[in-house]
Amino acid sequence: MNQTVFALVDCNNFYASCEKLFRPDLKDTPVVVLSNNDGCVVARSKEAKVLGIKMGVPVFQIREQIEQHQIVCFSSNYALYADMSQRVMSLLEEEAPKVEIYSIDEAFLELSGMDAIENLQAFGQRIKAKVDQYTGITVGIGIAPTKTLAKLANHAAKVYPATGSVVNLMDPVRQRRLMALVTVEEVWGVGRRLSKRLHEQGIHTALDLANADPKLLRHEYSVVLERTICELNGMSCLALEAIPAVKKQILCSRSFGRRVTEKSQLKEAIAKYVTRAAEKLRAEHSLAHVLQVFIRTGMFNSQDSQYRNASTIELPYPTDDTRILMAEAFQLFEKIYRPGFRYAKAGVMLADFSPQGFYQADLFYKDTKSTQATALMKVIDSINQSGHGQIFFAAQGIAPEWAMKREYLSPAYTTQWSDLPIVR
């Protein structure tokens, strides 16, 4: 029986790397990417990490460091990151028989049997070079008989430059040598809270955890930790999920760039979030049966009066039609809106999904789902995803004043013709 082989491909400092890709002048410059409303650091280049910039730190706390070290800040450019991710994942799908896209910058590859065709270390080096050449994004690759060990191998590929960013952990001796060097909190799925309890039991390294009694720790903690121990010992318990699991709910919500007091502006935000949620729903090939709208004021300003509320409806029939969802959302909004407050956030949630074309109709309601409506939504999505233009509902507003603060937003280099770099 052939041994299972997994590879974890992880893009290095992905958000920051995407920003640097089209700014060669920033090659050796520290770069940070900021969260929604430019509030906190969510990504750092290697130069910013060397300066001690921490993940999640509020920007106002590091203003002096930004000025002192001339750190360049970028607002999160989700369109750019998603497009670059898709390019990387497409290359991986060309090379591996099965690919599980684990996150926007990570993917597991199943390579079982590939070693009969190509040396695994050479395969990893070739994939790394190809992604770098075709996209400009550098990656680290960890290869091992289980997904948990592949995660550890990928960690080593990042930490130890001598590895050339590719670590093959198929050899049990190398596995145990690396596990002895890695703290237990670096093991996939352990984390800080659990690692603190494990430290109290004398389990400090990944090797300590691998040598622990899996049945005993299962009884004390969970079956998940038992599986982790088995994975660390080379027994694969986590299969590749080549087909992404269908979402159980879709949430679209943003904090406003400033406090909103006008009802009309709140409705614009609700319309925007419904539109985005419906787009995601159609991408899942699903219909939603439940819709929720919520609004709230700021939580941390004691000078503002506090108010939050939400309203939910079960639709008579599931739909993915933006127009229907928007009309229902406005009715829910009218129920919960109260004047006189400074609103900080609003959002929309869709839930209780059915596959497109397969759902139980209601005897007492006319199902307005039509071929024309489906075609209309498809045309709108195709135009908006083409990069050639945008179609939006007037209810979203033309230039919303409530929009998320993004003062350092880079151009959409790969998805807007007007933003293409000009070489003179």
Give the model confidence (pLDDT) of 166-175 as tens digits: 999 999 999 9
Whether 98 is in a domain gets the answer: yes
The answer on 345 and 274 residing in a single domain is: yes
Which of 63-77, 157-171, 315-329, 398-412 comes out lowest in average pLDDT? 398-412
Which of 155-159, 224-228, 299-303 has the lowest average pLDDT? 299-303
> By residue range, what is the domain housing residue 206?
171-245
Q: What are the distances in angstroms from CA 55 to CA 34, 75, 154, 389? A: 10, 15, 20, 35
| Residue that finishes a domain, picked among 245, 273, 301 | 245
236 and 256 fall within a common domain: no
Residue 301 confidence (pLDDT): 65
| Whether residue 84 sits in one domain with residue 40 | yes
Label each residue of 265-314 as H, E or C. Answer: HHHHHHHHHHHHHHHHHHHCCEEEEEEEEEEEECCCCCCCCCCEEEEEEE
Residues 6+ apart with CB under 8 A from 159: none
Contact 77, 36 (CB under 8 A): no
On whether both 54 and 136 belong to a single domain, the answer is yes
173 or 303: which carries more pLDDT confidence? 173
Please give the pLDDT value at position 418: 79
176 and 230 share one domain: yes
Separation of alpha carbons 278 and 275, rounded Å:
5
- pLDDT value, residue 13: 93
Q: Which of 245, 261, 285 is the last residue of a domain?
A: 245
Residues 17, 143, single domain; the answer is yes
What integer is the mean pLDDT of 105-127? 92
Whether 290 and 175 share a structural domain: no
Q: Is residue 238 a part of any domain in this protein?
A: yes
* Tokens matching residue 157: 């590929």
Q: Do 157 and 34 share a domain, yes or no?
A: yes
Q: Please check whether residue 412 lies inside any domain of the structure.
A: no
254 occurs within a structural domain: yes
Q: What is the reported pTM? A: 0.76
Asked if 165 and 138 touch (Cβ cutoff 8 Å), the reply is yes
Mean pLDDT, residues 67-76: 94
Task: Indicate the residue among 152, 168, 184 that finishes a domain.
Answer: 168
Q: How many domains does the chain have?
A: 3
pLDDT at position 162 over 60: yes
Q: Which residue has the higher pLDDT, 66 or 413?
A: 66
Q: What is the CATH number of the domain that holds 222?
A: 1.10.150.20
Q: What are phi and psi of 390, to 5 degrees?
A: -135, 135
Residues 6+ apart with CB under 8 A from 372: none
Is 423 inside any structural domain?
no
User: What pLDDT was estimated at residue 360?
Assistant: 58
Domain presence at residue 420:
no
pLDDT at 52: 93
Higher pLDDT, 243 or 218: 218
Number of Cβ within 10 Å of residue 164's Cβ equals 14
Over range 415-423, report the average pLDDT: 77
Radius of gyration of the chain (CA): 24
- Give me the pLDDT at residue 395, please: 84
Do 20 and 26 touch, CB atoms closer than 8 A? yes
**148 in the same domain as 10:** yes
Query: Residue 311 domain-assigned?
Result: yes
Domain co-membership, 227 together with 253: no
Q: For the chain, give the percent of residues with pLDDT over 70.
A: 92
User: Is the pLDDT confidence value at 185 over 60?
Assistant: yes
**Domain at 102, CATH number:** 3.30.70.270
CATH code at 343?
Answer: 3.30.1490.100
Average pLDDT over residues 60-75: 93
The answer as to whether 223 is a domain residue is: yes
- Within 10 Å of residue 119's Cβ, how many Cβ atoms? 12
Average the pLDDT over each of 133-142, 205-214, 303-312, 371-380 and give the range with the smallest value. 371-380
For residues 344-352, give the mean pLDDT: 91
Residue 291 has pLDDT above 90, yes or no: yes
What is the 3 state secondary structure string of the chain? CCCCCEEEEEECCHHHHHHHHCCHHHCCCCEEEECHHHCEEEEECHHHHHCCCCCCCEHHHHHHHHHHCCCEEEECCHHHHHHHHHHHHHHHHHHCCEEEEEECCEEEEECCCHHHCCCHHHHHHHHHHHHHHHHCCCEEEEEECCHHHHHHHHHHHHHCHHHCCEEECCCHHHHHHHHCCCEHHHCCCCHHHHHHHHHHCCCCEHHHHHHCCHHHHHHHCCHHHHHHHHHHCCCCCCCCCCCCCCCCEEEEEEEEEEEECCHHHHHHHHHHHHHHHHHHHHHCCEEEEEEEEEEEECCCCCCCCCCEEEEEEEEEEEECCHHHHHHHHHHHHHHHCCCCCCEEEEEEEEEEEEECCCCCCCCCCCCCCCHHHHHHHHHHHHHHHHCCCCCCCHHHCCCCCCCCCCCCCCCCCCCCHHHCCCCC
> Do both 55 and 152 map to the same domain?
yes
Predicted confidence at residue 231, as pLDDT, reads 93
Same domain, 13 and 72: yes
